[in-house]
């Protein structure tokens, strides 16, 4: 097969400089795919469920194309040629013929691509792909396929996440039983179980979703919902003695109307938060019991 050669004009060592901000030759850039593929997920032998979120072994991006230059807003042709910093065809002086062998391979291996700072052409080609998550102007409206890993940001996020988990676990372990029970009930934990069992499940809830746990542990509606639940469970109040009414069970005195199919606990909590006098009075009386 006849080999096609690239003809170059002028000094072959000359590379046109770009003001692209990619001047840290020693920096390592990590790009990761943003999309996972179900068919590549391994299957758990015991449950048959697919686990983790891996990527295809190889995922190739185009090495040339047309896009809108984020720096200028202009529609430009580009190609990532080995040995040339600039990817823009109008800046690739001396290039007459380019074969596929002359183009850089832009390949993700197991969902990752590592690019060194001195590989300016690769970096520019990646940043100018329409499928790059950080692309400002897109020639084609395509979904993002990959992103640049911001190590400092990711580390800070990880630290924040650990701090939040620590805070949630500390609350779950150290709060009193009286503080624990209302929120435990709201979280769906059986508050009729042994205290140690409730505490264990409470801690597990904190660990599974620390952000939600920390945010809603202090929600005043928790105690209202729990007190109404206890009153209903202990038959202090009833919604079944008189249809459509919430009553004091012993005296059958009507407290308030209850629409059919309503969520009594949460509805009363909402009314209290809205300042409804009847609901506020009811809850205050239940607290004293």
For 78-106, what is each residue's pLDDT tens digit? 999 998 899 999 998 877 656 778 899 99
- pLDDT value, residue 106: 96
More confident site: 46 or 160: 160
- Contact indicator for 283, 272 with CB cutoff of 8 Å: yes
* Count of the separate structural domains present in the chain: 3
Range of the domain at 197: 151-177+187-217
The answer on 86 and 103 residing in a single domain is yes
- pLDDT value, residue 122: 95
The answer on 144 and 32 residing in a single domain is yes
Least confident of 94-98, 126-130, 246-250, 252-256: 94-98
The answer on 155 and 145 residing in a single domain is no
Q: What is the mean pLDDT of the chain?
A: 85
The answer on 134 and 86 residing in a single domain is yes
- pLDDT value, residue 261: 83
Confidence of residue 3 (pLDDT cuts 50, 70, 90): very low
The answer on 106 and 65 residing in a single domain is yes
> pTM for the complete prediction?
0.51
- pLDDT value, residue 206: 94
């Amino acid at each position: 097969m006849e080999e096609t050669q690239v003809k170059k004009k002028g000094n072959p060592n000359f590379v046109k400089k770009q003001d692209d901000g990619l001047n840290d030759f020693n920096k390592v850039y990590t790009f990761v795919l943003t999309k996972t593929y179900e068919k590549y997920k391994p299957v758990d032998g015991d449950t048959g469920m697919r686990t983790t979120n891996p990527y295809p072994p190889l995922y190739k991006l185009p090495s040339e194309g047309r896009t809108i230059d984020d720096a200028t807003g202009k529609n430009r042709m580009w190609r990532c040629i080995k040995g040339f910093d600039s990817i823009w065809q109008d800046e690739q002086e001396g290039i007459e013929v380019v074969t596929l062998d002359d183009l850089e391979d832009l390949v993700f291996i197991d969902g990752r691509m590592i690019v060194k700072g001195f590989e300016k052409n690769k970096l520019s080609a990646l940043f100018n792909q329409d499928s790059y998550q950080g692309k400002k102007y897109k020639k084609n409206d395509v979904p993002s396929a990959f992103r640049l890993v911001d190590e400092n940001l990711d580390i800070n996020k990880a630290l924040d996440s650990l701090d939040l988990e620590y805070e949630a676990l500390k609350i779950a372990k150290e709060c009193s039983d009286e503080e624990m029970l209302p929120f435990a009930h709201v979280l769906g934990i059986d508050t009729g179980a042994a205290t140690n069992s409730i505490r264990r499940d409470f801690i597990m809830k904190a660990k599974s979703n620390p952000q939600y746990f920390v945010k809603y542990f202090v929600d005043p509606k928790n105690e209202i919902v729990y007190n109404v639940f206890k009153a209903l469970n202990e038959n202090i109040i009833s919604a079944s003695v008189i249809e459509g009414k919430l009553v004091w069970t012993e005296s059958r005195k009507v407290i308030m109307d209850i629409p059919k199919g309503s969520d009594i606990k949460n509805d009363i909590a909402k009314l209290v938060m809205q300042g409804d006098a009847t609901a506020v009075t009811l809850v205050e009386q239940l607290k004293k019991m």
